[in-house]
Structure 1
Amino acid sequence: MPELHAPIELQGIDLHGLQRLLDSRQLPPIERWNPPHCGHSGMRIAADGTWLHDGEPIRRPAMVRLFSSILRREPDGTHVLVTPVEKLSIDIERTAFRAVDMQVEGDGELRRIAFALDHGDPVLLGADHPLVVRDGVGGLSPRIKVRHGLEAELSRPVYYELAELALADGSDGVWSEGIFFPLDPDR
């Protein structure tokens, strides 16, 4: 069976082309599904992004991408995997996703920044996917909002790339899609 939710690679694609791909992608309408809660899935997303079931890593990337497409954060802060007929809890140690790569086009206010996430989807930093920097255990936790209340924590190398952009601009933040995103959690 062919994979319906293949990853989108950042490398070799301009960010306008990336936006067209993202606009054409259809994810399940999980925001409209409200089935009864059926228990715990036996799944956990570790702090390093590893998806586990009953303590064992899920080794098939296509399965992780499938599960990530039906994952959402509930208003009470819990995370669930949801289908039209059932809702199962899933434990998440830090964030649902990690931003593992970054691509930049343009400069200053005209800059566009895209992040590749560990489950195969990219996001463009902007109004729909803002950057937030939180104080966390062990220091700052820079995150980008993804979808359905989920966030992707920027890996340390990606955050350093972002900080280098800010330093090169002589600023305490970065521009993307015409919006300024401070890298200081107190701003």
Structure 2
Amino acid sequence: MPETRPPIELNGVSLAELQRLIDERRLPPVDKWDPPLCGHSGMRIARDGTWFHDGSPIGRPAMVRLFSTILRRERDGTHVLVTPVEKLGIDVESTAFRAVEMHCEGHGRERRIALKLNSGDAVIVGPKHRLSVVEAGRGPSPRVDVRHGLEAELSRTLYYELAEIALAEGEDPPGVWSDGCFFPLEPK
């Protein structure tokens, strides 16, 4: 079944409208499916967010969007593509998604931060989509929880934008507010 959902765009959309668009997306209930592991998919998500199959990049964004809807992270940290009847392993070098665009409304405790993902989805940082910074060996890795144990790493540009906000507001420790929650920008 081809992917027919267009990517969510942040430009020109209020966060209330964005939340409505997010809520209208009907994602498969992969958290409810538990078929047996059937092997490996031959797929890999590179550190930069590029999806590969048998060593070749997947060039169709609609295919990546489709596969991203059936992706889940298992309790042991592995990633799988899951349907009601089969589960296939997929290698993920860093995080499953990349946050590539940001839109903010409000200031301080009243701020809400929306992030567009490379999969065409979006999240609003807050209680359900927590922002954290982890030490990843190559430096701090800012991440946001997406769904089913999956995370999106923020691009360096977005991380610097958040750092500018944090420094301008002078919180101690440095961090940002979004949707009523405070998120420190220091590695755990």
TM bracket, shorter-chain basis: over 0.9
Q: Does the residue aligned with 1:26 lie in a helix, a strand or coil?
A: coil
Give the CA deviation at 1:182: 0.4
| Whole-angstrom CA distance in 2 between matches of 1:106 and 1:5 | 29
| Whole-angstrom CA distance in 1 between matches of 2:58 and 2:5 | 17
Matched residue count: 186
In structure 1, list runs of 5 or more residues that go unmatched.
none
In the other structure, the counterpart of 2:86 is 86
Deviations along 1:15-42, one digit per CA (max 9) or x if unpaired, are 0110111111110011111111110000
Q: Does the residue aligned with 1:48 lie in a helix, a strand or coil?
A: coil
Give the CA deviation at 1:127: 0.2
Greater mean alpha carbon deviation, residues 1-10 or residues 46-55? 1-10
2:133/2:185 contact within 8 Å kept: yes
Identity of aligned residues (%): 68
| Whole-angstrom CA distance in 1 between matches of 2:136 and 2:56 | 27
Query: What is the one-letter code of the residue matched to 1:88?
Result: L
Residue 2 to residue 12, structure 1, CA distance change in 2 (3 Å): farther
- TM alignment of 1:128-147, pairs within 5 A: 128-147=128-147
- TM alignment of 1:113-132, pairs within 5 A: 113-132=113-132
Q: Does the residue aligned with 2:47 lie in a helix, a strand or coil?
A: coil
Query: What is the one-letter code of the residue matched to 1:185?
Result: P
| Whole-angstrom CA distance in 2 between matches of 1:42 and 1:24 | 31
Q: Does the residue aligned with 1:124 lie in a helix, a strand or coil?
A: strand
| Whole-angstrom CA distance in 1 between matches of 2:168 and 2:11 | 23
Give the CA deviation at 1:2: 6.8
In structure 2, list runs of 5 or more residues that go unmatched.
none
Q: Does the residue aligned with 2:31 lie in a helix, a strand or coil?
A: helix
| Whole-angstrom CA distance in 2 between matches of 1:79 and 1:42 | 12
| Whole-angstrom CA distance in 1 between matches of 2:8 and 2:84 | 26
With normalisation by structure 1, the TM-score equals 0.97
Give the CA deviation at 1:5: 2.6
2:3/2:63 contact within 8 Å kept: no
Deviations along 1:41-69, one digit per CA (max 9) or x if unpaired, are 00000011000000000000000000000
- TM alignment of 1:1-187, pairs within 5 A: 3-171=3-171, 172-186=174-188
C-alpha RMSD over aligned residues: 1.1
Give the CA deviation at 1:170: 1.4
| Whole-angstrom CA distance in 2 between matches of 1:112 and 1:165 | 12
With normalisation by structure 2, the TM-score equals 0.96
| Whole-angstrom CA distance in 2 between matches of 1:23 and 1:61 | 22
| Whole-angstrom CA distance in 1 between matches of 2:167 and 2:108 | 12
| Whole-angstrom CA distance in 2 between matches of 1:3 and 1:48 | 22
